[in-house]
Amino acid sequence: MVRVIKQETYDEVVKENIEEFAMSPEEAIKDAIRQFEAQGVDLSNIIKDLVISDNSNVILTCLEKINTATKDNNFEDVTKILEELKTELDKDIARRLYAGKNNGYSILLNLIKETKNDVNILKPALKTMTALMTGHPDLLNDEGIKLQIQILDEQSDTSTIQLLLKWIKECCIKHEINRQNIFEAEILKRLTALLTKKNITGPELKAVCSVIRSLVLDDDLRHEYGKAHEHATQIARASLGILTNLLSKFTDDNTVIGDLMFTLATLVVRNEFCEEVEDAGGLTFILDVMINHPDAEKLNWQALKLLSSLAGNDKVKAHIVTCGSAPLIISAISRFKSSESVVTAGFACISALTLRSSSNSGVFFDCGAPVVMIDAMKQFPKSQNIIRTAARAIRNMTVKNKAEAREFVAYGVESILTDAIKNHGAAVEAEVKAALRDLGLKVDLKECWTGKGIALTN
């Protein structure tokens, strides 16, 4: 079990090293760190130089000044104070934890309440609040959520809305309860209203997409079961058509297109959603993106991710291949074979499109997939993720296409797969052995459980 200590405990040891053992400040800090780490103490929440720093009380001073300004309703210098506080909070998580323990959240929340109609103060206040809660979302409470929704309803300034959405996104990361509470506060209705604005800008759209993706995360280890699927389903029903139609509106902005495709990929969690995106022209647009932007690595990665998600529907999966996607996918893997993210997404896409489809597999063989896939695998012998996704793709392509499977063997896939098992063991063993088996190659399969030959009595 990880041990933790308070900031005061650490500071006392540093002071003791300086005063009683005549150490220099730097020596005192190194010795204190060494002592606590030897005892198995986690110091990630500790500000190491707080007690010896010339501005050791800058966080407390700033919070006190902001609190006084809010009480006195005098905001003349509060913008500079907020910038100074944000600079400190941006340094590390320890400073953010320290500020949170000293009532930083409540002080900033009260300031935002009092200045929600003054964007000149509201914007730096939102930036500072976001800095405070980055990696530290536990601070959010019902009062904060209510204020977020209120500002969304009342504020029309675009840049302010973007900053607010960034704060909401940080509240959702690695915090399931926050996600559920924010969703229950009917944020979806507000996000949909933003998406349907006639004059929505690219940056504003990206901010909305980032909140949508954060609401469907499943990254909080403290909760075994979350509501990511339920959230994705409700968001998809309300916004899939809108998001797909927005693709054609921002054709000249690669970053916005990429964000939209990535967001759509997180939302198509049901069979009918895949068809809805295709019916709205999404498939045609994706393929056009891959054709028109052959050198855009991130854009191709996002397009491959969306194609993989759409392939969850068998009808759409067939259309994806008949529309000519296979050569584009193989070409993308070949062009970006040094990019782990693109190669992984490409292999995952092939795996999804060839699952239970010998005809689709045949198309990929006709496109020369084996040699390109093996060449890409050779670039990442240490990547377990690529090895697993490649093995799944190879298995799906070969399980019902035994004659074509010989191409993989001819290009030396056996040595790559057997070396992967030697180097990575159990982490890749199941997928790799399944691929070797379906390729008709020698594989040592273990019988994990056998009976003892004793008749059951019940």
pLDDT digits (tens, 9 = 90+) for 228-254: 999 999 999 999 999 999 999 999 899
- Give yes or no for a contact between 379 and 338, defined as CB atoms under 8 angstroms apart: yes
pLDDT of 21 reads 76
Average confidence score pLDDT of the chain: 92
Output the pLDDT for position 1. 58
pLDDT of amino acid 37: 82
Question: How many beta carbons lie within 10 A of that of residue 183, not counting itself?
Answer: 18
Does residue 310 contact residue 316 with C-beta atoms inside 8 Å? Answer: yes
Q: Which two tokens stand for residue 11?
A: 């500071």
What does the pLDDT read at residue 53? 65
Q: So what's the pLDDT on residue 215?
A: 97
Residue 316: per-residue pLDDT: 97
Per-residue pLDDT of the chain (458 residues; tens, 9 = 90+): 567 888 888 888 888 887 777 788 888 888 888 888 888 888 877 787 777 665 558 999 999 999 999 999 999 999 999 999 999 999 888 899 989 999 999 999 999 999 999 999 999 999 999 999 999 999 999 999 999 999 999 999 999 999 999 999 999 999 999 999 999 999 999 999 999 998 899 999 999 999 999 999 999 989 988 999 999 999 999 999 999 999 999 998 999 999 999 999 999 999 999 999 999 999 999 999 999 999 999 999 999 999 999 999 999 999 999 999 999 999 999 999 999 999 999 999 999 999 999 999 999 999 999 999 999 999 999 999 999 999 999 999 999 998 999 999 999 999 999 999 999 999 999 999 999 999 999 888 777 777 777 776 76
pLDDT for res 278: 95
pLDDT at position 126: 98
Q: Which residues contact 156 (CB under 8 A, 6 or more apart)?
A: none
What pLDDT score does 449 carry? 73
Q: What is the pLDDT at residue 50? A: 72
